[in-house]
Amino acid sequence: MRALITGGAGFVGSHLADALLAAGHHVHILDDLSTGSVANIAHLKSHPQFGYTIDSVSNEPLLAELTDGADVVYHLAAAVGVKKIVEEPVATIETNVHGTEVVLRQANKKKRLVVVASTSEVYGKSTDFPFREDADLVMGPTHKHRWAYACSKAMDEFLALAYFKERRLPVVIVRLFNTVGPRQTGEYGMVIPTFVRQALLGHPITVHGDGQQLRSFTYVGDVVGALIALAQEPRAIGQVFNVGHGDEISMLALAGKVKALTGSASEIVRIPYDEAYESGFEDMARRVPDISRIKAMIGYEPRVGLDQVLAEVIAAMRG
């Protein structure tokens, strides 16, 4: 199989490239390095079945050529991280919506399978737990930029499913729930690398809000396994799948766990959302997936728990 990964120099994309190459597939990465890093793929450069191009998915002639040479397109390129989304709302919307539009248009010419990476953020402020793929999405008001990301990714899903319905383009949509592991950066607001970095440096571990918000975290290896398996399952085409872990933890408890595992003397400090992001920032109290659909489709079962994830992240960040 020949795979094209947009955003492939990013956290998830680089791990996906590792796994595909290990399975004997050919991989080409397209990344503009806006949030990805060449360091994430440096170890792959000498691999005979690996190639990469530093450019944007908006470069349509280039994307057309790369898509032509692929059997499957994993579309992971997107604006990521709450901090970046709040600070750069225009780039967020343009990158997510226009980038996906270009990918789908070019894939449609040769009917290449597209696996579109979406996000648990699309569930918005819903309180119908656990989140199911066929549940209603509850968005916040348009004047709060925090919801621009959720809406742009929901639009990606609508567009992908429209291409499937109207033009018979094979698409699979995955909603990722807090994917974590080595190589993830805290630069854009990702919580685990941020907590670990703060703990290792002896800085205050900063928890936003009251710290009671609940999240579930999924090991990147489990996510990558699901992405590969779904691309090889014809019954998955035209469907949306949650990819996550059912276990939940509060942010205060997570901070405490990181502090204990690093042996840090850092103080755990709570910071109001208004101070961390912007005035009127809204967050979800809970975000947990129903993973019964993906279990039924490919036998998905998350294998790696939070303690092991944290151990790997801590070891990687200690160098």
What DSSP string describes 245-274?
-S--EEHHHHHHHHHHHHT--PPEEEE-HH
Distance of CA 13 to the CA centre of its chain: 9
In a domain, 195, yes or no: no
Domains identified in the chain, total number: 1
273 occurs within a structural domain: no
Question: Has residue 255 been placed in a domain?
Answer: no
Question: For position 301, what pLDDT does the model report?
Answer: 97
pLDDT of residue 256: 98
Q: What distance in Å separates the CA atoms of residue 62 and residue 54, rounded to the nearest whole number?
A: 11
CB hemisphere CA count around 154 (13 angstroms): 17
Domain housing 62: 2-179+219-245+289-303
Please return the burial class of 191, using the count of CB atoms within 10 Å of its CB with bins 0-12, 13-18 and 19+. Answer: buried
| pLDDT number for residue 146 | 82
Considering only CA atoms, which of 25, 20, 29 is closest in space to residue 77? 29
pLDDT at 139: 94
Q: Three-state SS for 205?
A: strand
Q: Are 174 and 128 in contact (CB under 8 A)?
A: no
The catalytic site residues sit at 149
pLDDT at position 143:
87
Distance CA 150, CA 258 (A): 28
63: domain CATH number is: 3.40.50.720
Of 33, 315, 308, 310, nearest in space to 187 by CA: 33
- For residue 275, the model assigns a pLDDT of 85
For residue 82, being part of any structural domain is answered with yes
In sequence order, the 6+-apart residues with CB closer than 8 A to the CB of 167 are 108
Asked, for residue 280, whether it belongs to a domain, the answer is: no
The reported pLDDT for the residue numbered 79 is: 82
Is residue 272 in some structural domain?
Answer: no
Please report, in tens digits, the pLDDT of each residue of the chain (319 residues total).
999 999 999 999 999 999 999 999 999 999 999 999 999 999 999 999 999 999 999 999 999 999 999 999 999 999 876 777 778 888 888 889 999 999 999 999 999 999 999 999 999 999 999 999 999 999 999 988 888 889 999 999 999 999 999 999 999 999 999 999 999 998 777 999 999 999 999 999 999 999 999 999 999 999 999 999 999 999 999 999 999 999 999 999 999 999 999 999 999 999 998 887 777 778 889 999 999 999 999 999 999 999 999 999 999 999 8
Q: What residues are paired with 113 via a beta bridge? A: 72
Residue 211 falls within a domain, yes or no? no
Task: Let me know if residue 268 belongs to a domain.
Answer: no
Q: Name residue 93's amino acid.
A: I
Nearest of 100, 150, 99 to residue 124 by alpha carbon = 150
Overall pTM surpassing 0.75 (yes/no)? yes
